[in-house]
Amino acid sequence: MMSAPIVTVFGGTGFLGRRIVARLREHSFAVRVASRHPARARALFGSEDPRLQSVEADIHDERSVAAALADAHGAVNAVSLYVERGGATFESVHVEAARRIAVQARQAGVARLAHVSGIGSDTASPSLYVRRRGEGELAVRAAFADAILVRPAVMFGPDDAFLNLILQLLRRLPAYPMFGTGATRLQPAHVEDVAEALARALQRGGPETIECGGPHIYTYRTLLLTVAEAAGLKARLVPVPFGLWRAIARVSEMLPNPPLTRNQVELMQIDTVASPSMPGFAQLGLSPRSVEDALRQMVASPPRARSASPEQGAA
- Angle, vertex CA 205, rays to CA 56 and CA 273, nearest 5: 85
pLDDT for position 310: 36
**Parallel, antiparallel or unpaired: strands 155-156 and 74-77:** unpaired
Q: Does residue 298 belong to any structural domain of this protein?
A: no
**Helix (H) / strand (E) containing 248:** helix 242-252
Q: Does residue 244 belong to any structural domain of this protein?
A: no
pLDDT for position 308: 40
How many CB atoms neighbour CB 300 within 10 A? 8
How many CB atoms neighbour CB 279 within 10 A? 18
**Helix (H) / strand (E) containing 8:** strand 6-10
pLDDT for position 303: 54
Q: Does residue 236 belong to any structural domain of this protein?
A: no
**Quick one: CA torsion of 49, 51, 53, 59, rounded to 10 degrees?**
-140
pLDDT for position 312: 40
DSSP lists the bridge partners of residue 189 as 155
pLDDT in tens, 225-251: 999 999 999 999 999 999 999 999 999
pLDDT for position 2: 54
Q: What is the DSSP annotation of 75-93? A: EEE----SS-BTTB-HIII
Decide if 120 contacts 137 (C-beta within 8 A): no
Looking at residue 284, what DSSP letter applies? G
Which regions in the chain score pLDDT beneath 50?
A: 1, 305-315
Q: Which CATH number do you get for residue 74?
A: 3.40.50.720
**Helix (H) / strand (E) containing 192:** helix 191-204
pLDDT for position 48: 79
3-state helix, strand, coil in the chain (%, to 5): 40, 15, 40
Q: Does residue 102 belong to any structural domain of this protein?
A: yes
Decide if 293 contacts 210 (C-beta within 8 A): no
Q: Does residue 266 belong to any structural domain of this protein?
A: no
The phi, psi pair for 47, rounded to 5°, reads: -130, 15
Q: What is the CA radius of gyration of the chain?
A: 19
CA neighbor of 77 nearest in space, from 93, 54, 98:
98
DSSP lists the bridge partners of residue 190 as 156
Is 0.85 surpassed by the pTM of this model? Answer: yes
Q: Does residue 36 belong to any structural domain of this protein?
A: yes
The domain containing residue 34 runs over which residues? Answer: 6-155+190-214+275-288+309-313
Q: How distant is the alpha carbon of residue 232 from its chain centre?
A: 29
Number of domains in the chain: 1
CA neighbor of 96 nearest in space, from 75, 65, 124:
65
pLDDT in tens, 97-132: 999 999 999 999 999 999 999 999 999 998 999 999
Q: Does residue 180 belong to any structural domain of this protein?
A: no
Q: Does residue 254 belong to any structural domain of this protein?
A: no
State how far the alpha carbon of 229 is from the alpha carbons of 198, 225, 296, in Å: 32, 6, 10
Strands (E), 59-168: 74-77, 112-116, 148-152, 155-156
248-251: Cβ within 8 A, 24+ apart: none
